[in-house]
Amino acid sequence: METKNKTPFFVSSLIFLLCCLARFCYGTDIIRQGKTMKDGDKLVSSDGVFELGFFSPENSRFRYVGIWYKVDMEAVVWVANRDKPMVNTNGVLRIGIDGNLVVLDGNRNLVWSSGVPGILSNTSSARLQKNGNLELLNNDTSEVIWDSFHHPTDTFLPGMKLPVSLSMGEVRFFRSWRSAIDPSYGNYSAGIIPNGGPQIVIWDQSGRRRWRSGQWNEVIFTGVSNMSNTASFLYGFKLSETDENGTRYFMYKPSNSSALSRFHIGYDGTERLLRWDGKNWTVLLSQPGNKCDLYNHCGNYATCDNFVSSSTCNCLEGFRPKFEDQWSKGNWSGGCERRTELECQRGKPDGFKRMKCMKLPDFSNIPVKSRDDCRQSCLGNCSCTAYAYVYGIGCMIWVGDLVDVQHIDQSGPIQFFYRLNHSDLDDKKKISNGVIVIISLVGACFLVAFLWLLWRYKKKLKVSSMVCCKDKDAVVFIEFSTEFSADFSGPSDILIDGNQVNRPELPIFNFSIVAAATNNFCEENKLGQGGFGAVYKGELPGGQEIAVKRLSRQSGQGLEEFKNEIILLAKLQHRNLVRLLGCCIQGEEKMLIYEYMPNKSLNNFLFAKQAVLDWRTRVGIIEGIARGLLYLHRDSRLRIIHRDLKASNILLDAEMNPKISDFGMARIFGGNQNEANTWIYVT
């Protein structure tokens, strides 16, 4: 009898609990078949970063379905029904009878649909992923049927993959809002175009270009003048290898993966990189940033210079204003024209004028040409107006007018050559032979004096700032005495203590930036001490955590290891090798800058009593080390023998992924080499 009385109470409690769970089911990240998400319910990504739900912009009565950052509901990154808002709070989001994700208004009329044909109605569900991507999934196969990343609105998020297809010409557009309170299609769009080297372009409503980033050279966009000011930009962007369909994908991964960031095309036509600082969104990059950034602001064959108080236009050397009266009034849109016609059509050779510190013109062609053939290819084609050979891109040829040329404070080792009549190249005042002899003798004396001083003081580095004319950047790139080639081949031209070191393919950090990042190398930032020198923890201006290995001035062996690490790690890249972000060589100071490993070395876990690893983690570490060694011994373009592999040289990142480090004693072997004579090292 007592058991009978308890049974109804148990059943009632269970029903009450299930009702409560049903009410709060949308605290999860998934919408299943047969479930309805009402206005007021929210879908939250598993890490709690993104939310999906119904919202109204400020001072608006209309309702939309969208995705936003949980820390700031106004930071909307995607809108479903942007051109068809609802007028009340009776709308719902559900899996429709055709298996698509649909938004219905209060009368259950269709407002928006994912619109994928041929889905079985009972096999789909929708999930909000940790990267902010809303995916429609096939429950049987886990296949992604549709996702919001392939149908963006005005925001590019880390984790998105933008197709860059030369064969198909596919461009995925981001469209701005119409206003701050109206998510409908606005006046500006942005996307990445593949032709002539991938670059970001902003268009206005009529399809005219408003701004472009300049061509991507595998490191930076060459036309963004301040892109290298923050070290985090250098390693955030990546262009994937070509897949079987001939498509490459552009991605962005912030240096600090825990920081919230987004690229946003505003209703004013400005693209901004924003990062959450805990209270507000900080603008790290904004384009266009001035009048010179506006597309072809000075017209054809003219450069825009923003280094003076106001944007100034100048014709390229050998050109003159096309409309003098308008030019003098500050109306530069007409551009410039040649002073002297080219001789090529009459069978006579022309010359080329070299330019540096320039944003390369738009509409280039990239023929399959070597560096040596690039000039000859342009010289032999009378339609060719300019050429350049750019590291990471290759030979670039311009046919027709030179459009959107800008003087910028960054272009690295890029040299741009445009075609001129020889008379425009030789129109400078002639100098007598006697003056030439005197100048030559004086120059020779200065050269001898300079070489003597160079030998005496042992200048450490022959570099040129990537800021050709203004050395203000936190990170600079090495400029070599010869032009870059696509495979980084070429002579050495870095001197360290009088010894040549093969040129590194990585940034050089200014000493002041490294010192600031490590709080002037204070003891609290010190991670350890070795034969090489001290290791410090630091943080770059972009928020990226780094480890700085500072060479001891008394370490002779450390100097050899320093040179060896620059030569090797700059050419190696693998998920199980520690990542060398750059180096600093200034006066007596020599430092290597690595990615920071929060879990330190394997040594701490194997020999520390308080740290115990589970077997899954142990097996993962073993597999990672094996993958790294396989890459070094067999799969990398250089065959490397580490020679100092031990627990203290296995570093662990935040996810306990192992990274092989300390390549100071490593040795390069030839492809068929099985043995070598080496010095004996004891560690």
| Annotated binding residues | 549
188 neighbors 205 (Cβ within 8 angstroms): yes
| Alpha carbon distance, N-terminus to C-terminus of the chain | 80
Positions at the binding site for ATP: 549
396 neighbors 384 (Cβ within 8 angstroms): no
293 catalytic? Reply is no
φ/ψ of 554, rounded to 5, equals: -95, 5
**Looking at residue 39, what DSSP letter applies?**
B
411 neighbors 476 (Cβ within 8 angstroms): no
In angstroms, rounded to a whole number, what is the distance separating the alpha carbons of residues 266 and 664? 48
In angstroms, rounded to a whole number, what is the distance separating the alpha carbons of residues 639 and 667? 8
In angstroms, rounded to a whole number, what is the distance separating the alpha carbons of residues 623 and 424? 64
In angstroms, rounded to a whole number, what is the distance separating the alpha carbons of residues 528 and 601? 11
Residue 570 CB partners (closer than 8 Å, separation 6+): 504, 505, 506, 580
For strands 302-305 and 405-407, give the pairing.
parallel
- Provide the b/e sequence for 380-412 (b: ≥16 CB within 10 Å): eebebbbbbbbbbbbbbbbeebbbbbbbbbbbb
**Looking at residue 448, what DSSP letter applies?**
H
Residue 661 CB partners (closer than 8 Å, separation 6+): 577, 578, 594, 649, 650, 651
Tokens of 442: 């004086």
Q: Please state, in angstroms and as integers, the Cα–Cα distance from residue 633 to each residue in 578, 639, 645, 666, following that order.
A: 16, 5, 13, 11
DSSP 435-488: HHHHHHHHHHHHHHHHHHHHHHHT-------SSTT----SEE----SS---TT-
* Residue 182: Cβ within 10 Å count: 15
Beta bridge partners of 407: 305, 358
Total residue length of the chain: 683
| Per annotation, catalytic residue among 204, 644, 653, 662 | 644
* Sign of the four-CA dihedral 528, 529, 531, 534: positive
Instruction: Determine which helix (DSSP H) or strand (DSSP E) holds 561, and give its type and residue range.
Output: helix 556-569
- Which residues are the active-site residues? 644
